[in-house]
Amino acid sequence: MKAFEYASPTTKEQAVSLLSAQWGETEILAGGTDLLSLMKDYLSAPKRVVNIKGIKEFQGIRTSAAGVRLGSLVTLEELLDNQWVKAECAALAEAADGVRSQQIRNMGTVGGDLCQRPRCWYFRGGFGYFPKGEGGEDLIAQGENTYHAILGNSGPAYFVNPSSLAPALIALNAKVRLFGSQGWRDVAAEEFFVTPTREGEREYVMKPNEILGEVIVPPSKGLKSATYEVRQKEALDWPLAAASVSLKMNGKAVQEARLVLGHVAPVPWRCQEAEKALVGPASEERAAEVAKVALKDAKPLSQNAHRVQLARVALKRAIVQATQGGA
């Protein structure tokens, strides 16, 4: 790990002033569950690390008529412990529960979950963001791509977005609040993530000198929501596919739906055609049909066709879970 300057500001204004306008020069430290491993692996070698844990404004969960406001420093464990979140945002609580490591839930934060870097093993192994061979070959397309994208994968990015909470927040129509030198700006959770096309870009619209300070989840108003992860292990393991859904129900019929897949594309994947197809009487058969619609444009790579099936199952089961009692 390269030596670096360490700053521990106590206000958001101080924190922003300590951040560089260039990616890579400074890094924001919250739970550290991702940043420390990136630094140990020399994938990030910042000149300055800005610890934001001392900024009280970014802490805590507050509920009001406008919904729930999650400070970006709220840990996954705090989310799971919050009765309001459990009662009103089942999809979010279930997503946090999918992180099956007590240690990571204790340290990992909402902001960190959204901003963590891809788990692509070429990237993490130091072979690059868009790894290429000496002759320009696309190493992922021809290589070990079982865990890579099945949607939105026309290249050069093949990694999957690793966030556990993002699909749930998008399904719940949340917004992300970013603080910068010009003050706050709001971005819909769905608009927060982007697919990078050049080395050095990041996977979100946040600028290097902005901080993700809050997430606002609108009032649930009786929405039924759920998250289902297909994970090989009960112990800590990345999902092979995940789905978060939120449904506005009228009795046993779906009036409106937001369906989002996780771990299948470089960004959390909203399934708008499937959302329309789900409107109508709810049943397991219908959920299965809708899941097929959601994945019809999937283009698996050489080794990951099975994950199209897994994504269908995740979505079908999330829909069934929501209609059968999700909050």
The one segment of 63-71, 88-96, 123-131, 171-179 that binds another protein by CB under 8 A: 123-131
SS (H, E, C) the chain: CCCCEEECCCCHHHHHHCCCCCECCEEEECCCCCHHHHHHCCCCCCCEEEECCCCHHHCCEEEECCEEEEECCCEHHHHHHCHHHHHHCHHHHHHHHCCCCHHHHHHCEHHHHHHCCCCCHHHHCCCCCCCECCCCCEHHHHCCCCCCCCCCCCCCCCCCCCCCCHHHHHHCCCEEEEEECCEEEEEEHHHHECCCCCCCCCCECCCCCCEEEEEEECCCCCCEEEEEEECCCCCCCCCCEEEEEEEEEECCEEEEEEEEEECCCCCCEECHHHHHHHCEECCHHHHHHHHHHHCCCCCCCCCCCHHHHHHHHHHHHHHHHHHCCCC
134 versus 199: smaller Cβ distance to another protein? 134
| Contacting residue, 105, 148, 286, 316, with another protein by CB under 8 A | 316
* Least CB distance to another protein at residue 245 (A): 17
CA-to-CA distance for 283 and 6, rounded, in angstroms? Answer: 54
Cβ 310 to another protein shortest distance, Å: 6
The CB-of-90 to another protein minimum distance in angstroms stands at 21
Nearer to another protein by C-beta: 133 or 218?
133
Q: Which is nearer to another protein, 105 or 231 (CB)?
A: 231
Site for another protein in 224-283 (CB under 8 A): 230-238, 240
**Which of 4, 23, 84, 127 touches another protein (CB under 8 A)?**
127
143, 167, 268, 326: which one contacts another protein (CB under 8 A)? 143
Tokens of 30: 């919250």
Shortest reach from residue 309's CB to another protein, in Å: 6
54-93: which residues touch another protein (CB under 8 A)? none
One of 42, 56, 253, 302 touching another protein (CB under 8 A): 42
Q: Tokens representing 221? A: 């108003």
Question: CB of residue 293 vs another protein: minimum separation in angstroms?
Answer: 13
At what angle are helices 306-323 and 90-97 packed, to 10 degrees?
130
Stretch that binds another protein, among 175-183, 186-194, 202-210, 307-315 (CB under 8 A): 307-315
Chain position carrying tokens 């924001």 = 28
Under rule CB under 8 A, how many of the chain's residues touch another protein?
40
Residues 277-296 that bind another protein (CB under 8 A): 288, 291-292
Among 85, 170, 271, 310, binds another protein (CB under 8 A): 310
**Nearer CB in complex with another protein: 23/238:** 238
Interface ranges with another protein (CB under 8 A): 1-3, 42, 100, 119, 121-122, 124-125, 127, 133-134, 137, 139, 142-144, 146-147, 230-238, 240, 288, 291-292, 303, 306, 309-310, 312-313, 316
